[in-house]
Structure 1
């Protein structure tokens, strides 16, 4: 049937004939009918900065904004790009058209809307149930999106007849397809209303805005520091409505008036006018990869007052804005007691590490290729942090803590890098020598204030995940943050990182993060026996890494003793064992699956069938690929759904930990892989924003699944497993299983739940 005939039939079906239609005839509601379809079938690929063609379907504003041919992620651009942040850099279709976006909803003369034609193209090429996709369809980061404009659709459809929407995945149901087509034929009307705070939220918003905007120099400086540290947070309130979140912004208007947003590139840019800190609702569907939550309640406000407003410290002058103040927040906020700043970050360490490890930028390989695939994080206790306790040391260290990235002149990259590298190394030398004169570090040197004290980080190539507790095998490296290191990491990778920046900005960010990683490793090494430190460095910096140590890193302290008593044969492993024992009550996620030390390798509180499944799964965990060849076939982050057949299921993350000879260089990562040393971590929960694949295995079949995984020798053997238990993109129930991951998050961690991203879901 010709396309226009289909639309006519749909109009008759949904709206009736022109003669029969009356004002009472219901029209399709965007809020009730359309956005739920976008949320279920579209935003898994169309949300955040890495949305294909910048088409964000998480809200009516994003749908109306449309698409753009200009990608946000471009590692080669020589000039910074104008930002295109939804709800920030433009409002309404007209403003976005001036920024180069084109409509996907508007009909073009006799031609239907671009979205309608893309959906029809997808409808014409259904996928074979649970079969591999045709080889010609490129997915993931290797895909070059065409982003055809309406007038270019026919050429696109001719060249890519199997690449309509939704792309390379089980499509819309009949009802969803007809609803969207009828809505588009009606002119895509929108009835979506902005989120409105409930009475309790409104009252607390007023209280918090008054608090951050309180008059006085001290209040202004604290308010600025808090804003710069909370601007990424999705705030939720005590007695708030489920699903309601709010963000801090700067507005030209005070509380009680409509927000007049100041859309600066960075939160520490000069606002250029009088401004007020305001809380406004997070609009649109919640997607997990950008959803970094933070609670506000009376106890939180009391804690902030205790930290920042006790004592008699004063502000003699308010700092300005500009590159120098962005480069060195230690100078900018020097008048606020360092102990208050550090303790606030420690209280909420999981949030802060999440901002720069998981982050909201959605594609982070520029930063993630500088870190190992799995490592543990600890924090130095404030009373043992000399930057906090020793004012003379702090005065010497502060000028050396400036960070690059404020000047994006491509021609100056090398000179800027050398300048900041030398400053950082001068700081490391000062730290080494000053701590060398201090008492040796002991167990009391580690902060143990709450269950944020111990964190695990897993890298999944171009993204990473943070989880509370010590998860997985004892890692090759561990990090120890002190205040200067934690604050610099946050400012370098969150506050001052510009996703729209040019290659110079991105290179400086990446290179300095390499120094941060090295600093965290060296901090940890002070806990090891002095005569073991060089050996650990040699292990961490193989295959050219020693050259990098000689070129760019400061020499470590290899003579001052540790205050810990550790087994000489393997002090790092002994440290890890003692850490797990000493801080067992703070370890949010005990892990018998990956660190099985006896006959029972499952969580004691799990149901019997699940315990049996975990006992079997432990056979896959923490074994090098040299003895478990299936690892070489596994993607970075696989979801395993284990169903006990009694109405319950547990979701596990099966994470591939790629071994590297070193992670010290900007280019050539694949040449430093050590695949025979790769391992798997198996742990309950969704530990990625980007699932790469999924298996659905009845609990009774887990032993057979594990047996077959252990027996895999080649691609054919692995494909049999995928055929039997795998959920391919073409699976008839793909969307049920995919969204069950979000359902599981809602059941186990409701505040932090959101729709996951399937852009990296592989064609296994």
Structure 2
């Protein structure tokens, strides 16, 4: 063998050896998990609680017990990553089983990957009908000793599950890593100098020891504990979380793991900001900005006045139940204005939220509605001290006591308080007709749109879609109660009683927001409109649970008796055009040009064609009933360019007043579509990929499609099924598009709800 060839061979062999020794979890393994696994394995809805968004999650392993169980009689022990335990030994004591133990091909992770590799899918074909892929499927979560029987009984249950698998290189990398013992090299995120300086400023503010500062810090913590905080001038991709720690600034954070953020921390503690260590996933990524301006705003709102704190409130069920009493010393104006400044964040926490399977909240809401806020200057709770004192004891929230035996007696008490409050509120607002000035318009958070897709929902700034059937108008008591009921006080690990109380009370809050909106409409139209929102069985709920509306006090808005909601929407869009973050010519086209101005000509033609689908009921567009609730449309144009659109199916219901029997209230002929640029769901149900010049044909095919072969032909031609050989390229491009267009909000999307069309 020539010497030169021999040396090259030695170099190649040496490189291979070095490569084998250099497999890095952070550099080589986590990117594979992020690209192919995190889309299912993140948050509480991760199958078998296996979270692959970080080395800590991989090492923690899997658990047979599901987080979601609305029928359990006893609350479960929380299993929150980075909070409820630290280190493998601690997680083993909590019942988690290793997926790495045994190393190499003996590891459970390796065997699940090999099982998936042994059953390749037919290219872009529908999955077998008997393969259950829905989020309600029963996950077996086998232990290593149970795997052979599991694989024999479930040959198509390998990983990645029911989707195109890993590439040869990815599989080889994971196999090599497992053979090396699956080492995880830690790489803690370090704040940049700009971030470190701001962290120090915020921790000084939050840990000041005078009574006023301590009470304000507690309120701020309870309102920001869920946030992915980012700093002005901070490094891209750096996010932080506010926690209570046993250790002060300058020492490693030791978080205090209480079930709720308003539980007693037990002894001395410090508010600390720590980096978020796992992969950012869109469904839990609820951002909030911090910076010098926000710090100054907090001081201005909370610490500039001369209000005093006689005694700091303690902790306990009563303090959790009524934050209006707990924080009564803090001026209500300050609390409400702070929430309004970033209203989208707060609505996201209880609509989009990190619970990830939020049917407790989402089956109480319509599939599409707009949310508005009452101006602080016109909120009686803020402006009338006597009224505030009278109603504050009535604003307590249920769910603190989870005794199932005493559920209905307890619920009756809260119902009586709620009705008493609503009666006092109606009387207070009957003193003056509602005016346009009563609508808050301080910034672009003032106009929000909510879309629901079964057990998930999304919130965006701006008024998106056709004029909805219902609107919410939130005042401070409605806003704060919703936040505490669904975020601060909600325990996803709680029992049946807790979850039932949460659901029942949120139903009352939603009705309160709807009734508040009715004050803006002509008095004589209100009852008929309310009846149209609560048809059929909803009339029973109006009689049993909800308070009467004010049908006498006039509105000063001057709206017509005929279609007042449509007229209100037209005036609202015109009056607040400057703060409407998302003008919508696709769904509310008022001219012959139904497209966004300024986009590429190819997209203008495409949007013009797509606008034919927007707002049409299923009665005139049968394909609506074939589409999932959240489809994404990827349109390719120009030289390698693309635009992403959300095609959302809004399911119609006679009412949303009951926990059970949703299918009995479903009105499919009234389902409609909203089409808008952007990713308006964390949970895509399907993806279509269409060239811009094919969009008119795509639209025409949907217009002509009916159930069966017609719609299947649309999917066959333009659909990206789970079995598509390039599924992951298309799916991950959605996250890439988010990084390009909304870098602050970008995260890995979830495919647990991706359907088998």
TM-score (norm 2): 0.97
1:610 aligned to 2:619?
no
Partner residue of 1:653 out of 646, 650, 655? 646
1:268 to 227, 239, 262: 262
Cα distance in 1, alignment partners of residues 433 and 34 from structure 2: 54
CA distance in 1, matches of 2:718, 2:286: 32
Q: Distance in 2 between matches of 1:126 and 1:378?
A: 50
- Shift of the 209–711 alpha-carbon distance from structure 1 to 2, 3 Å rule, reads same
Residue 645 of structure 1 contacts residue 698 of structure 1 at CA under 8 Å; is this kept in 2? no
Partner residue of 1:293 out of 266, 287, 294: 287
Q: 1:638 aligns with which of 610, 628, 631?
A: 631
Distance 2:143 2:673 in 1: 43
Flag structure 1 segments of 5+ consecutive residues without an equivalent.
Answer: 1-12
Alpha-carbon offset, residue 713 of structure 1: 1.8
Structure 2 CA distance for aligned equivalents of residues 124 and 223 of structure 1: 55
Q: 1:214-251: per-residue Cα shift (whole Å, max 9, x none)?
A: 12000000010001000000011112111110000001
Match of 1:30 among 3, 22, 25: 25
Q: Is the 8 A contact 1:397 1:427 kept in 2?
A: yes
Tell me the CA shift for residue 443 of structure 1: 0.6
Partner deviation per Cα, 1:606-629 (whole Å, 9 max, x = no partner): 111101101111100001110000
Distance (Å, rounded) in 1 between the aligned partners of 2:95 and 2:11: 34
Q: Distance in 1 between matches of 2:266 and 2:85?
A: 19
Residues 390 and 146 of structure 1: CA distance in aligned 2, closer, same or farther (over 3 Å): same
CA distance in 1, matches of 2:11, 2:80: 35
1:5 corresponds in structure 2 to: none
User: Which residue number corresponds to residue 133 of structure 1?
Assistant: 127
Contact 2:63–2:97, Cα closer than 8 Å, also in 1: yes
Task: Kindly indicate whether the alpha-carbon contact (under 8 Å) linking 1:127 and 1:170 is maintained by their aligned counterparts in 2.
Answer: yes
Q: Retained in 2: the 8 A contact 1:15–1:27?
A: no
Change (3 A) 1:423 1:14: farther
1:696 pairs, out of 660, 666, 689, with 689
The reply on whether 1:244 has 2:234 as its aligned counterpart is no
Matched, 1:75 2:70: yes
Residues 472 and 681, structure 1, Cα contact 8 Å, conserved in 2: yes
Q: Which one of 500, 508, 518 corresponds to residue 507 of structure 1?
A: 500
* Structure 1 match to 2:333: 339
Distance in structure 1 (CA, Å) of the matches to 2:197 and 2:311: 32
Shift of 1:142: 2.6
2:57 equivalent among 62, 74, 79: 62
SS in 1 for 2:236: coil
| Residue from 146, 170, 189 that aligns with 2:164 | 170
User: In the superposition, relative to structure 1, how do residues 384 and 15 fare at CA in structure 2: closer, same or farther (>3 Å)?
Assistant: farther
Query: Of 746, 752, 756, which aligns to 1:759?
Result: 752
Instruction: Tell me if structure 2 keeps the 8 A contact 1:328–1:403.
Output: yes
1:462 matched residue in structure 2: 455
| Corresponding residue of 1:380 | 374
Q: Structure 1 segments of 4 or more deviating over 3 A?
A: 13-17, 20-25
CA distance in 2: counterparts of 1:123 and 1:16, whole angstroms = 28
> Can you list the C-alpha shifts for 1:415-445, whole angstroms capped at 9, x where unaligned?
12111111111111000001111x2111100
Structure 2 residue 85 is matched with structure 1 residue 87: no
Counterpart of 2:427 in structure 1 is: 433
Moved more, 253-262 or 271-280: 253-262
1:587-643 per-position Cα deviation (integer Å, ceiling 9, x unaligned): 000001001122111111211110110111110000111000000101010000011
Distance (Å, rounded) in 2 between the aligned partners of 1:694 and 1:319: 51
Deviations 1:56-109 (A, max 9, x none): 00000000000000000011110000000000011111111110000101117x
The separation in 2 between residues aligned to 1:555 and 1:719, in whole angstroms, is 49
Write out per-residue CA displacement over residues 421-476 of structure 1, whole angstroms, 9 at most, x where no aligned residue: 11111111000001111x21111000000000000000000000000000001000
Structure 1 residues 146 and 24: alpha-carbon distance in aligned structure 2, compared to 1, 3 A threshold: closer
Corresponding residue of 1:157: 151
Q: TM-score, normalised by structure 1?
A: 0.96
- Secondary structure at 2:262 match in 1: coil
Per-residue CA distance 1:126-150 (angstroms, 9 max, x = gap): 1111110111210122311110111
2-structure distance, mates of 1:151, 1:753: 40
Q: Secondary structure, in 3 states, of the residue corresponding to 1:751?
A: coil
Measured in 2, the distance between the counterparts of 1:527 and 1:352 equals 24
Q: Return the alpha-carbon distance in structure 2 between the equivalents of residues 472 and 111 of structure 1.
A: 51
Distance 2:367 2:107 in 1: 44
Q: Deviations over 1:159-206 (max 9, x none)?
A: 111221000101000000011011111110111211111111111111
1:27 Cα offset (Å) = 2.9
Match of 2:526 in 1: 533
Q: Any idea what the Cα deviations from partners look like across 1:103-128, whole Å, max 9, x if unmatched?
A: 101117x9610010111111111111
Q: Which runs of 5+ in 2 are unaligned?
A: 1-9
Q: Which of 83, 89, 93 is equivalent to 1:98?
A: 93
Rounded to whole Å, the distance in 2 between the matches of 1:40 and 1:610 is 29
Contact 1:112 1:185 in 2 (8 A): no
Who is 2:478 aligned against? Answer: 485
Query: For residues 121-520 of structure 1, what are the structure 2 equivalents within 5 Å?
Result: 121-437=115-431, 439-520=432-513
Cα RMSD (Å) of the superposition? 1.5
Q: In the aligned structure 1, how far is the partner of 2:11 from the partner of 2:354?
A: 40
Summarize the Cα distance change of 1:712–1:607 in structure 2 as closer, same or farther, 3 Å threshold: same
Deviates more, 1:466-475 or 1:250-259: 250-259
